[in-house]
């Protein structure tokens, strides 16, 4: 069933939020299946990262901001249910679609009880996986998590409006993407390489000051008129957005 990915055009399926990059992490140890999922989703405009090992997938899921995870239950290292359990224990609300090759009801029930948003049994059609992903991303967008709050800074992921207290902040699309990336994980330090990869989607060039330039632009717009400075530089390491006290 999954092999239909090679033949079926999926351009009739709309993205959850036209004009926005929906970032998906696929954690699947069967490389052929993972590749087919990645190609099918990327054909629809999703931005897709792939991990083939549970420990690698968990590291990516906790280090980067994703709009949804496609998570296989049977994995080397951490299994899918363990990853899901740890994410929910850390209060990470990223939507999760479980993949399972098993037909047992108990495993699916356990996954849903742990906080999975949906599940799909193998084999499956890529069209169905795409539709289910769109559904859980849309549902998540209606939750309070669509409004990121750090101190008196609010970032609305639906309207793309940013405010610092009562002050509205006008941002370019790239500035908004950078601020969103930092605001999804307040307190976490991101290196220039991580920011470049996740916001600009290409490998980091050590000779470029692109990230530093955009950080300075954000500082002028977000911090300059406020007594509490939220954007912090850790010299020699990177940047983070710290909560306002």
SS3 24: strand
**Domain final residue, candidates 120, 141, 162:** 141
* 141-150 own/partner pairs: CB under 8 Å, 24+ apart: 141/16, 141/17, 143/93, 145/93, 148/180, 148/183, 148/184, 150/183, 150/186, 150/230, 150/241, 150/242, 150/243, 150/244
Compare 165 and 204 and report the one with higher pLDDT: 165
CATH number of the structural domain spanning residue 81: 3.40.50.2300
Report how far apart, in Å, the C-alpha atoms of 11 and of each of 2, 84, 125, 141 are: 17, 31, 15, 23
Residues 152 and 108 in one domain: no
Residues 231 and 184 in one domain: yes
Residues 20 and 116 in one domain: yes
Q: What's the whole-number mean pLDDT along residues 150-155?
A: 90
Q: Rounded to an integer, what distance in angstroms lies between the CA atom of residue 166 and that of residue 210? A: 30
Q: What is the pLDDT of residues 77-102, one digit of tens each?
A: 999 999 999 998 887 889 999 998 76
Residues 119 and 157 in one domain: no
Residue 225 forms beta bridges with which residues?
A: none
Domain that holds residue 20: 2-141
Which pLDDT value is given to residue 93?
84
Residues 172 and 119 in one domain: no
CATH number of the structural domain spanning residue 179: 1.10.10.10
Residues 151 and 231 in one domain: yes
Residues 58 and 71 in one domain: yes
């Amino acid at each position: 069933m999954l092999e239909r990915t090679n033949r079926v055009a999926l351009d009739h399926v709309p993205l959850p939020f036209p004009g926005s990059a929906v970032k998906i992490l696929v954690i699947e140890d069967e490389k052929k299946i993972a590749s087919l999922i990645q190609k099918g989703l990327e054909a629809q405009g999703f931005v897709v990262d792939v991990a083939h090992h549970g420990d690698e997938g968990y590291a990516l899921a906790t280090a980067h901001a994703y709009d949804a995870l496609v998570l296989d239950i049977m994995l080397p290292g951490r299994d899918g249910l363990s990853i899901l359990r740890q994410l929910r224990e850390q209060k990470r609300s990223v939507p999760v679609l479980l993949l399972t090759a098993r037909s047992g009801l108990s495993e699916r029930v356990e996954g849903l009880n742990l906080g999975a948003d949906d599940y799909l049994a193998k084999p499956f059609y890529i069209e169905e996986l795409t539709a289910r992903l769109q559904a859980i991303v849309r549902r998540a967008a209606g939750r309070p998590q669509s409004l990121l709050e750090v101190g008196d800074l609010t970032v609305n992921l639906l309207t793309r409006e940013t405010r610092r207290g009562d002050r509205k902040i006008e941002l370019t699309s790239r500035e908004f993407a950078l601020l969103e990336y930092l605001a999804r994980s307040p307190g976490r330090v991101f290196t220039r390489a991580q920011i470049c990869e996740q916001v600009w989607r290409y490998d980091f060039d050590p000779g470029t000051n692109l990230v530093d330039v955009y950080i300075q632009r954000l500082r002028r717009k977000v911090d300059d008129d406020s007594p509490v400075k939220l954007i912090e530089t850790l010299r020699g390491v990177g940047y983070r957005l710290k909560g306002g006290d």
